[in-house]
Amino acid sequence: MSKKRSWLFSLFVIFICAFSLINTGCGNLFRSQATKPFFTDPLVKISQTESADFMDRLAYEASLLEPAVLCPGTQVYMGYWSYYPNRASLIRVLDSINTASAADRAIWDEGVTTSASKQYPSYIQMNDEFWYERGNAVAGIVTLTIEGVTYTYTDPYPTTFQQADTIWGQYSQRYAEMAALIRRQTGITPEALCFVQNARSNRIFYSFELPKLVSLEATGDVRVFFAVTSEADWNNPSDWVEGTKNAPVPVAP
């Protein structure tokens, strides 16, 4: 982030912290009302999610939804999961943290809590763009189920599965990069809590998120912890192993 951008963002954070009560529930203003997909050009989206500005955008949205995330003194936990059964484990831990103390906040790539009302607008838009469904289209025809109704569409911007992976992977990297900003604004190093048992080596965590966490760990901007079991308790140190070098061995594709 340039010095000018960093200064402007700091002013914004001060404003958010000062008026946190006013901003409570602001995320509802951003809820998507889409009843059909947004057919964004994948090349445009790849360019957007690759940019450092996209991290700023996620941080802006996070601070509107939960001002404490960027306020001094908050211990922030950043959740990660890969391999679908691990998602429920992460949700359990995030909810446990967020109901324990106002001084501790747990976020993930979907939002500042596990509630749908607290999802990042950028995450909502990503879902409304249906990248993986478009990446799996047959002869350019996309089949989608929206609010229980099945539709078929012709994608004006044919999308490959690799492009869908790149878009979601870069989105996840920008989410991970929030750790450095969180550390600067809160004065406390955020902790990444990862549930990735049995995750495949070619999926988003090992292909995109872990390399970014390695670099953030090296600069002291995040501490990374891996759950030993699916029942890991965030209050029990023996349920976790620290350090990206101790990441579980992934499953072959």
Per-residue pLDDT tens over the stretch 51-107: 999 999 999 999 999 999 999 999 999 999 999 999 999 999 999 999 999 999 999
Higher pLDDT residue, 170 or 29?
Answer: 170
> In the prediction, which pLDDT does 30 show?
36
What residue spans of 66-142 are helical by DSSP H?
Answer: 85-98, 121-128, 131-135
Per residue in 9-31, pLDDT (tens digit) is: 554 544 444 434 333 333 333 33
Q: Does the pLDDT of residue 35 top 80, yes or no?
A: no
CA distance 15 to 125: 26
> In the prediction, which pLDDT does 213 show?
98
> In the prediction, which pLDDT does 29 show?
32
CA distance 118 to 104: 16
> In the prediction, which pLDDT does 36 show?
73
> In the prediction, which pLDDT does 226 show?
98
Beta strands in 72-187 (DSSP E): 75-81, 104-107, 141-146, 149-154
Which residues are bridge partners to 191 per DSSP?
A: 77, 223
> In the prediction, which pLDDT does 37 show?
86
